[in-house]
């Protein structure tokens, strides 16, 4: 499964992927991601939520 994650991340939009990588891979808190990207924290949270949802759907499809 760990090998599939980079490929799954590549399937996300650039904005969502960047937020996901900064938060989950690089370890930045939501506020830190917001400052780096110059967007509201709520937008970061939405992108993370959408990214998780899309990854779940992709993993589910591949598992079927």
Query: From its phi and psi, is residue 32 left (phi > 0), alpha (psi between -120 and 50) or beta?
Result: alpha
pLDDT one-digit tens code per residue, 11-58: 899 999 999 999 999 999 999 999 999 999 999 999 999 999 998 888
Residues 35-44, buried b or exposed e (16+ Cβ, 10 A)? eebeeeeeeb
**Residue 1: its pLDDT value, please?**
56
DSSP string, 13-32: -HHHHHHHIIIIIS---HHH
């Amino acid at each position: 499964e760990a090998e599939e994650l980079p490929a799954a991340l590549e399937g996300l939009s650039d904005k969502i992927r960047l937020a996901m990588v900064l938060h989950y891979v690089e370890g930045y808190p939501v506020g830190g991601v917001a400052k780096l990207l110059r967007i509201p924290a709520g937008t970061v949270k939405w992108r993370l939520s959408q990214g998780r949802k899309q990854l779940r759907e992709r993993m589910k499809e591949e598992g079927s």
